[in-house]
Amino acid sequence: MKRNNLTNLPAEPDFVIAAQFYREPHIALEELKKDMARVKKLGLNTIKIQEAWSYDEPVEGKFEFDIMDELASSAADAGLNIFYTICLEVPAWAWKKFPNAHTINEANQRRNSYDAYGYTDGKPGPCWNHKGMRDAATRFMTEFIGHTGKHRNVVQWQAYQELNWLKQTSQCFCPECIKLFRKWLKKRYGSLETLESKWLIPSRSWDEIEPTRRRSGASYKDWWDFSREQMISMLKWRADTMRSADPFKRPISVNVSGPQFADEWEWKLADNADICGTSFYPAYFHTTPIPGVSKDTIPTAETQLPHDMWHTCLWFDYLRVATKGQPWASEFQAGPPGSFLHHGNDPSPADMSRWLLLTLSAGVKGISFWNHRPEYWAGEGHRYGIFDRTLEPTPKTEEITAIANAIEKHGKLIKSAQPAGVEVAILVNEDNTRVMETKQSNAAENSMQGLYRTLWDLGVHADFLASTDLASGKIKEYKIAFMPFPIAMSDEYALMLKNFVEEGGILVSEACPGRYSDRDTANLETGFAPQLDSVFGCRNASIRM
C-alpha cells in the first residue's frame, strides 16, 4: 500500500473546513476517489473518515486497515487533509469473549448496545469499566493510530461523536460500576457518618450502599456526579490512548449533538479534549417554540428567519466560553434533513450563506459538513448531502464554494478573532439542572434561552459561565450576571455569588434563587439560599407557582 513520504508534511490549514466522507457501509471506493476531486474543487481542505472497529478488526488480532490507507493516500494525492473518527463499534468476537461487558439499567437488566457489532457510532456501547473490553479497545486504538498516523495528511483524531449526557443510557448499574461508586464515595466522604449526613438515610456498612434507582432524593447528586465523571473518564481514556499512540500528537476532538443548555457538560468535555464542538442542523430549528407563535402554527418566513438567527448565535455563544474561545461546528447541515418518510427542503444558497456567516460571527474555529453526498443507508438515506445525487454543481454548492474560498483566504484572521468587551454573563449551574431533571422540567433551559433571546434583541452580547468559571474568578471580568430560574443551588455556589456582589458585581436573579439545596432539600428559613439573604436584602414572604 502506498504511503505518504514522512518528510513531506502538508501545511495544516489555518481553518479546517471539511466534509464527512466515508463510513460503513460504503459505496464503491473508486467512486469515492472521484468524489475527492469534487470536494477539493468545492473549496474544502479536509475530509472526515469514520472508522469502525467491528470492520477493522473482524477477528481478534487481525487488523485490516487497507481501506483506511487507500483513502488517506488518495486524499493526499487530491490535496486534502483527513481526520478520523474512531467510534469503537464493538466486534462480534469481543461481545462473545466478554459477555458481561454490557451496561446494566436501573432494573438490573442488560442494556443491549444499539450497534451490536454493526455500524453506527458505537453508542451506548459496552461498560468501558469492564477491564477485558477496555484493554481490547485500547490495543485496537493503539494499533490503528500507530498505523494510520503515519499518513502525514492526518490533522485530527475524533474520540467521540455526539457524546451527550443521556441519563437513561449514561448510568450503568453493573457490579463493577457499583464497586467503583462505593470507592468513589469513600474518597469523597471518608466515613459512613459523613455519608449519612448527606444522604439522610442510615447506613451500617459500605457494602449496603447502592445508587438510587429513582433518580431523585439527596443521594442522587452523588450518583449523578459519579456517572458523569465516568463518562468523562471514558473520553480521557480514549484521548490519552490516542495521544500516546500518535508520535505527532495531533489534536483530539469531541462533539455533542446539540448544546446541553443549562448544564455544564461542554465545559467538562472541553477540559479533556483539544477541540470541542456541536452538531448543527438549523433546519430543525422550526421544531423549537417561537415566542408569540402557537405550537400548532407553521411559522412564516418572517417569524422563522429571526428565530433561526438568534438560535444559531445561541448555540455557538454557549459553546464559546466552555471551549476557551475555540468552538467547532462539528457536523454542519448542508443538505435536506429528515429520516425515512420525512424529507425536508434542501437548504437554499441564502440559507447556507446565512448559517455559515452567523456561525463564523459567533466565533466558530472549524467546520465539518455532513455529508459530501446524500447518505447511502438507513433512515437518513437520500438526505444531508452537499451535492445532490447528480453530483453536479448547483447554486447552493457555488455559494458554499464562495464562502469556503473566503475562509481559506482569511483563515488565520478568522481563527484568531474573539469578541471584545463582553460585560454580561448568563450563569449555568449543573446542580440546578439536575434537580430540575428529577422533576421532568426543562424550565431552567427555557428560561436561559428566553433570557439570551431578550439580550440578543437588545444588541447585548452575553457569555455563559459555569460554576468552574465562578470558582476560577473569571466572573470578575463581567459587570453583571444573570441567573435564569435558579431554583436549586449549593451553599458553595451561593457563597461565590455573594462574593461577586461584595466585590462590585451586579447580580440579577429570577424568583426563588436557591429555594432548594443542591440535594433537593427545602431551604425553609428564608425561602432561598441562606447566603443570599444579605445579597438581595429580602426574604420570601409568599409564593404561588
Domain contains 474? yes
Q: Which of 499, 465, 469, 495 has the alpha carbon at shortest distance from 483?
A: 465
DSSP 500-540: HHHTT-EEEE-S-TTSB-TTS-B-TTTSS-GGGHHHHT---
* 478 contacts 423 by C-beta, under 8 angstroms: yes
Please check whether residues 432 and 409 belong to one and the same domain. Answer: no
pLDDT(166) > 80: no
How far is Cα 214 from Cα 520, in angstroms, rounded to an integer?
14
Please check whether residues 394 and 442 belong to one and the same domain. Answer: no
User: pLDDT by residue (tens digit) across 265-278?
Assistant: 999 999 999 999 99
How far is Cα 545 from Cα 543, in angstroms, rounded to an integer?
7
The Cα-based distances of 64 to 60, 95, 220, 328, 351 in angstroms read: 11, 19, 44, 31, 41
Please check whether residues 452 and 487 belong to one and the same domain. Answer: yes
The domain in which residue 467 lies consists of 424-536
Please check whether residues 349 and 442 belong to one and the same domain. Answer: no
What is the average pLDDT value for the chain, to the nearest integer?
Answer: 91
pLDDT(116) > 90: no
**pLDDT-derived band at 115, boundaries 50, 70, 90:** low
At how many degrees (to 10) do helices 220-245 and 131-148 cross?
A: 30
Q: What share of the chain in percent tops pLDDT 70?
A: 93
Domain contains 40? yes
Instruction: Determine if the pTM surpasses 0.85.
Output: yes
Please check whether residues 329 and 459 belong to one and the same domain. Answer: no
How far is Cα 475 from Cα 273, in angstroms, rounded to an integer?
23
Domain contains 226? yes
Tell me the average pLDDT across 422-443.
93
Q: Which of 161, 3, 155, 14 has the alpha carbon at shortest distance from 82?
A: 155
Domain contains 50? yes
Please check whether residues 62 and 112 belong to one and the same domain. Answer: yes
How far is Cα 249 from Cα 304, in angstroms, rounded to an integer?
44
Please check whether residues 285 and 411 belong to one and the same domain. Answer: yes
Q: What share of the chain in percent tops pLDDT 90?
A: 76
Report the Cα 253 to chain-centroid distance in Å: 10
How far is Cα 54 from Cα 52, in angstroms, rounded to an integer?
5
User: pLDDT by residue (tens digit) across 275-306?
Assistant: 999 999 988 765 556 666 666 666 677 777 88
Please check whether residues 437 and 408 belong to one and the same domain. Answer: no
Check residue 187 and give its pLDDT: 97
Query: 392, 416, 440 — which closes off a domain?
Result: 416
Query: 369, 399, 416 — which closes off a domain?
Result: 416
Q: Would you call 201 helix, strand, or coil by DSSP?
A: coil
Tell me the average pLDDT across 198-205.
89
Q: Which of 340, 329, 354, 351 has the alpha carbon at shortest distance from 48?
A: 329
**pLDDT-derived band at 520, boundaries 50, 70, 90:** very high
How far is Cα 351 from Cα 357, in angstroms, rounded to an integer?
10
Look at 295 and 361; give whichever has higher pLDDT: 361
Indicate the range of 92-106, 140-154, 279-293, 351-365 predicted with least confidence.
279-293
Please check whether residues 47 and 69 belong to one and the same domain. Answer: yes
Domain contains 190? no
User: pLDDT by residue (tens digit) across 441-467?
Assistant: 889 999 999 999 999 999 999 999 999
Provide the CATH number for the domain around residue 484.
Answer: 3.40.50.880
* Domains identified in the chain, total number: 2
Please check whether residues 412 and 428 belong to one and the same domain. Answer: no
Domain contains 376? yes
